[in-house]
Amino acid sequence: MKYNYDSYRMLILVNQRLTKQIFLHKINVKKGSSAEELFSRMYDWLFSEAKFIEHDFEKYYKVEYNNFEDFLLKRYCVDKEIIKEFMSMKAINKDYILIDVDVLSYGDTGFMDLVFSEENENKFINLLLLNENENQA
C-alpha cells in the first residue's frame, strides 16, 4: 500500500524482511543480466534514501505525539481512513513497516513511473510486502 503525501513524496508499507537478495529472487532475474542490474538499482533507489518512519517516531517524535497514528495525521497529513488502512494491514503482519520515500532522491522518476504504473502497481506492492497473492494489496 502506498500513499502520496506530496508531489514527489510517498509513504509505502513494506515488509522489513525484504532484502535485495529476496527481492531479486522473487522477480526471478538471471544473475549477471542487465535485468538484475536494473532491479538492483530499483531496490537501491527505494531503500537507500528511505526513512523508516516508525523508527524515527520511536526515537525522536514519540514525546510530541499521542501515538503513531497521531504522528501520521499531524506530521504527514495522512487522511484518517488511510491511517486505518495502514494500521489494519500492519496488524496482519508484524513485519510490515512504513517507509517515507523521496521519489527524486535518485534523480530519475523513471523507476517510479514503471513500478507504479496501472499495470504494475499491485504486483510491485505485493512484492514489497512479500505477499504471494497479487490481490492482497
Q: What is the pLDDT of residues 41-97, one digit of tens each?
A: 889 888 888 999 999 999 999 999 999 999 999 999 999 999 999 999 999 999 999
* 135 in any annotated domain: no
In a domain, 134, yes or no: no
Q: Answer yes or no: is pLDDT of 8 > 90.
A: no
State yes or no: pLDDT of 21 exceeds 90.
yes
In a domain, 32, yes or no: yes
SS (H, E, C) the chain: CEEEEECCEEEEEEECCCCHHHHHHHHCCCCCCHHHHHHHHHHHHHHHCCEEHHHHHHHHHCCCCCCHHHHHHHHCCCCHHHHHHHHHHHHHCCCEEEEEEEHHHHCCCHHHHHHCCCCCHHHHHHHHHCCCCCCCC
Domains contained in the chain, number = 1
- Enter the pTM of the model: 0.83
46: domain range?
2-129
In a domain, 137, yes or no: no
Confidence of residue 136 (pLDDT cuts 50, 70, 90): very low
| pLDDT, position 119 | 83
